[in-house]
Amino acid sequence: MDVESGVRFTRHALERMFSRGIAVEMVLDVLRRPDLRLFDVEADTIVYASTRRKLIVVVAPEGGGKLRVVTVIPCKRVDVLVRRRLSSGRWIPLGGAQGNCVRS
């Protein structure tokens, strides 16, 4: 997927990014190269996690292979949050190499 043309941001996501000093390019980088991809069973969204960028990006799939970024969360300990959500059953790993492990 061509990330730049396949992504749109909700107003909420843009407001959060602005208030937290997170650039659009940082979010696109997480979507291009996530450490983990997970499914949030409660919110019916996909979570892209980056330990390198220390970001959690929550997206909702749209038709035609496009993604809508719902929110972006800075997280110093991505691994801790991911483990907690996996153990509670809220998040489940998505297939592929990027969805199968939690990196420290």
Q: Specify if 2 maps to a domain.
A: no
Quick one: three-class SS letters along 33-48? CCCEEEEECCCCEEEE
Tell me whether residue 1 is in a domain: no
What CATH number is associated with residue 76? 3.30.2310
Q: What is the pLDDT of residues 21-61, one digit of tens each?
A: 999 999 999 999 999 999 999 999 999 999 999 999 999 98
Q: Domains in the chain: how many in total?
A: 1
Domain assignment present for 101: no
- Per the structure, the complete domain to which residue 21 belongs is given by 7-92
Least confident stretch, 5-9, 66-70, 88-92 = 5-9
Q: What is the pTM of this model?
A: 0.84
